Amino acid sequence: MAELMSSGIELMFAGMGIVFLFLTMLVVAINMMSSLVQRFFPEAPPTPVIAPPTSNSGIEKATVAAITAAIHQYRKP
């Protein structure tokens, strides 16, 4: 019985060791790929945000009022 228990414990530690080594190699590989991507494909500078036009876009005030009223009616509990 003791031989079976020690055999099981050895197998448990071997399995945990293999999983630990695999996860360590995975972390190292991900870090290496991240550094390679950052080196060869640097982040592009952010594009400026274009402000929406301030002029009337051709929608009548009555249409805007109707849409606003419909949204307000829809959101009302």
Confidence at residue 76, expressed as pLDDT on a 0 to 100 scale: 84
> What is the rounded distance in angstroms from the CA atom of residue 36 to the CA atom of residue 28?
12
Mean pLDDT of 39-68: 79
60-to-29, 54, 68 alpha-carbon distances in Å: 59, 15, 13
Confidence at residue 55, expressed as pLDDT on a 0 to 100 scale: 58
End-to-end CA distance of the chain: 70
pLDDT confidence of 49, banded at 50, 70, 90? confident
67-to-21, 28, 58 alpha-carbon distances in Å: 61, 55, 15
More confident residue, 19 or 60: 19
Q: Give yes or no for residue 33 having a pLDDT over 80.
A: yes
